[in-house]
Amino acid sequence: MDRLLVLVRHGQSEWNLKNLFTGWKDPDLTEQGIREAHAAGQKLKAKGFRFDIAYTSALTRAQHTLRIMLGELGQPDLATVKDQALNERDYGDLTGLNKDDARQKWGEEQVHIWRRSYDVPPPGGESLKDTLARALPYYMKHIQPDVLSGKHVLVAAHGNSIRSLIMAIEGLSPEEILKRELDTGVPVVYHLGADSRPLSVEVLA
């Protein structure tokens, strides 16, 4: 049985381009982000992958990325589940701020802690640990059972919600997952064993 799971961070968004904290705000893709989504779909098609179901967040940039990929795969009508459990982490009071402006306001060290610590949230927002607390149960209840039943599953989401899933799938520590960089529009391909652990992982950069 081929237990295929592909995770893709959305293509570059308008706020990524402007170096803004985005979180649960809902900007769309840039032209570059659209190109990245097309390229992701083409890479998956070149591998011969076909999918049985897709999951995405409640945010436009992830949904748009998914639609473009499915178009490239020739599966525009694939059954798709949208849920805010897969949303990006909520950056709270940082949302909408330029990252350089935030450093000036709170100091570089404090902003670095908010961005790169595992369990320290920005004011009014979520830490990576908080994001994991909503993304992981959703993965365990919905996505993982689909994969283990033999369905080919495609997930288009966000840097931190995908980090949460990778942490669980690969059994990484908080320190290890914080070092994992996820480029926009780059598929991460897992083949899972019956025990849900990865047999292989490939980054289609």
- Catalytic residue set: 10, 88
Whether residue 138 contacts residue 165, with contact meaning beta carbons closer than 8 Å, is answered with no
52 is written with which tokens? 């049985």
Residue 75 CB contacts under 8 Å (≥ 6 apart), including other chains: 50, 51
Report the DSSP pairing between strands 153-157 and 187-192.
unpaired
What gap in Å lies between CA 172 and CA 164, rounded to an integer? Answer: 10
**12: DSSP letter:** P
Q: CA-CA distance, 68 to 62, in Å (whole number)?
A: 10
CB distance 24 to 50 below 8 Å: no
* Alpha helix stretches (DSSP H) within 47-192: 60-73, 99-106, 108-116, 128-138, 144-148, 159-170, 174-178
